[in-house]
Amino acid sequence: MKKLVVLSGAGMSQESGLKTFRDMGGLWEQYRVEDVASIEGWYRNPELVMNFYNERRKQLFETQPNAGHFAVAALEKDFDVQIITQNVDDLHERAGSTKVLHLHGELRKVRSTADPDLVYTLDHWELKFGDKCEKGSQLRPHIVWFGEAVPAFYDAIPMVEAADILLVVGTSMQVYPAAGLVNYVRPGVPVFVIDPVRPDFYMKNVTYIEEKASVGMNILKSKLEKLK
């Protein structure tokens, strides 16, 4: 069974109603990135940061996977699928995908401010001040903020290197280090890119499908038939 690696981004979940950060009317037009997505913002105004992620988490609990998520999950019938996502939602998992690596953390998880290895899954949307880890330290969102290391990136590299097929869906490929992952694909490996706006990167063996995720995944089906 061929290994198909999926790099997914915010456009994947946009059709489920989740706001993206960069689009017109997106979250970065409402909030300054340094206020809600940096360790400095957390130290400066933890209440703002806590409320921001509580609102995102509340929305996620009310959101369902879309046709694009289910189409990606269905690929597991014919391929060994590994998803590497920039998204912090759990919609891939809820759609049935079994191997998902989150580069930028997970919205439904929180972690200790004293020990980053102490990570907990929430069964509700609200994280409060006074919610502490087993060592007695305040819990924070389990999100990789700007300026913080992206440890999962080093897990993702060998996954991309092992890919027989690479699918890039719903991402502008402008956020590093995630965007750099495409450089690890082996020469000759077919690459498919699904996004309404063609990402600004150039590789050999690339097929562009300039559609939103749900439509693009349907078009992709016939192309993958030849590669099973």
> What is the tens place of the pLDDT at every residue in 73-99?
999 999 999 999 999 999 999 999 999
Q: Which residue has the higher pLDDT, 123 or 32?
A: 123
The whole-chain average pLDDT of the chain stands at 90
| Choice among 102, 104, 124, 142 that is catalytic | 104
State mean pLDDT over 173-194: 86
Average pLDDT for 32-55:
90
Task: Determine whether 124 is an active site residue.
Answer: no
3-state secondary structure the chain: CCEEEEEECHHHHHCCCCCCCCCCCCHHHCCCHHHHCEHHHHHHCHHHHHHHHHHHHHHHHCCCCCHHHHHHHHHHHCCEEEEEECCCCCHHHHHCCCCEEECCEEEEEEEECCCCCCEEECCCCCCCCCCECCCCCEEEEEECCECCCCCHHHHHHHHHHCCCEEEEECCCCCCCCHHHHHHHCCCCCCEEEECCCCCCCCCCCEEEECCCHHHHHHHHHHHHHCCC
Q: How confident is the model at residue 27 (pLDDT cuts 50, 70, 90)?
A: low
Share of the chain above pLDDT 70, in %: 93
Q: How confident is the model at residue 174 (pLDDT cuts 50, 70, 90)?
A: confident
Domains and CATH numbers, the chain: 1-17+65-104+149-228 (3.40.50.1220), 19-62+109-143 (3.30.1600.10)
The per-residue pLDDT for 184 is: 94
Output the pTM of the full model. Answer: 0.91
What is residue 29's predicted lDDT score, i.e. its pLDDT?
Answer: 56
Residue 125 has pLDDT above 70, yes or no: yes
So what's the pLDDT on residue 138? 96
